[in-house]
Amino acid sequence: MKRILLLIALGVSMGTFSQSPSSDTIIFSRFPAESNLQPETVFPLKNEYVRRIYLEDNTITTWSINKDQGYFFRPYNLQGQPLNKGFIGFGSGQYEVSGAISGGCHRGMYWLHDVSAGKIVTASPQKNSSEPVQLKEYDFPEFYYSVLLLDSLQVIATGRYDAAEKLHRIQLPAFKLLSAYRLYTPPPGKTPLNTWRESFISFLFKHPDQSMAVLACRFTDQLDFVDLKTGKSRVVKGPENFPAMFGSIYSNGRDHLERTEDTRFAFVSGTVTAKYVYLLYSGNHEVDGAGNLNSTGKKVYVYDWAGKPVRVLNFPQYISCISVNDDDSLLYAFDTDREMIIRAALR
């Protein structure tokens, strides 16, 4: 096992806002507006760690980590009463998932990507049917860090470190590569190739009309906006434009990124509407990790779909995930300290 310490700078912030026509890169050092939110309690949710919130009519569905409840997704009414036992169970059997980094909701269909089992499981709640939830399962044999369904048979995925591109579009169930977007830049100096690519691991988001994708980096405040129709892209860096800091470790035949005490976390969750991209920002270091600080934050960065920074939303407490209604008037979140769903007005 071999370790190499690397301190890699992905860029230096220069000025308040600039745009490079040649590389189509936006670099900025502050948001044009900032707001302090005053959230109210919607309902308590004890003994859960909520990773995502999905809004539909008067229903709040959570993707939670609580094996005692038996299911990943649970729908609630606005008073906090469960509407059913939930769907997509914990486990290693058919239509079950043992753990997932990626998951979501697409037009009423919920899904999870089980990395260890190499599969995607979908759940479609049915109304007026003897079968309350329709479950399907698809093989997904290659490792990707983040996966996002475009529809029931197409996905986009990022974080395959043996690939030259950041983003792939894949057809299911054949697992056929349809398109590839955004080449990785060459690694600097003696940085191992796989480690360099892993330093760009990102969470994926898509425009509601499926025309655009956003890759939000974990270890630097950088975004990649990708037009899924034309393949054109834009990089957005800021407001700190801090460098990704990491080590490299050789294990099991390949180089891996190793987090160090200098490793800092940028984006940890997010949501989108037709107008805006909302990203939950951490800013904490690896050594701050006690109490899930590496996966929570108090700031939400807002961008438009052209990649331009819009404003910062400040929460008084740490939250783990966010969701915004269609008209951008209300933001929902999970307060990790008080274990409750909260809501704040955005207008």
CATH of the domain at 73: 2.120.10.30
pLDDT of residue 226: 97
In the chain, how many domains are there? 1
Does the CA dihedral 255-261-262-267 come out positive or negative? positive
Please give the Cα distance from 27 to 31 (Å, whole number). Answer: 11
Q: Please list the alpha-helical segments (H only) found in 108-155.
A: none
What's the half-sphere exposure (Cβ side, CA atoms, 13 Å) at 242?
19
Domain that holds residue 58: 2-345
In angstroms, rounded to a whole number, what is the distance separating the alpha carbons of residues 48 and 57? 23
What b/e sequence results for 282-310 when a residue is b if at least 16 CB atoms lie within 10 Å of its CB, and e otherwise?
A: bbbbbeeeeeebbbbbbbbbbbebebebb
With a CB cutoff of 8 Å and minimum separation 6, the contacts of 86 are 69, 70, 71, 72, 73, 74, 75
21, amino acid identity? P
- DSSP string over 166-177: EEEEEETTTTEE
Residue 184 in tokens: 């990785």
Distances (CA, A) of 331 to 48, 156, 207, 230, 281: 20, 26, 18, 32, 15
Task: Specify the pTM.
Answer: 0.92
Helix (H) or strand (E) holding 5, with range, is: strand 2-7
Give alpha helix (H) positions in the chain. 193-198
Look at residue 294 in the predicted model and tell me its pLDDT: 83
Helix (H) or strand (E) holding 151: strand 146-151
Q: Is 66 left (phi over 0), alpha (psi -120 to 50) or beta?
A: beta
Burial category of 195 from C-beta neighbours within 10 Å (exposed 0-12, middle 13-18, buried 19 and up) = buried
Q: How far apart are CA 214 and CA 320, in angstroms?
A: 19
Q: Which residues contact 16 (CB under 8 A, 6 or more apart)?
A: 28, 29, 30
> What secondary structure does DSSP assign to 265-284, as a single string?
--EEEEEE-SSEEEEEE---
Residue ranges of the chain with per-residue pLDDT less than 70 = 1-23, 67, 129-130, 288-292
**Maximum Cα interatomic distance, the chain, rounded to a whole number of Å:** 61
What is the side-by-side strand order in the sheet with 71-77? 49-56, 59-65, 71-77, 87-90, 96-97
Output the DSSP codes for 181-244.
Answer: EEEPPPPPTT--HHHHHHTT-EEEEE-TTSSEEEEEESSSSEEEEEETTT--EEEEE-SS-PPP
Q: What residue has token string 């009423």?
A: 108
Q: What pLDDT is attached to residue 289?
A: 57
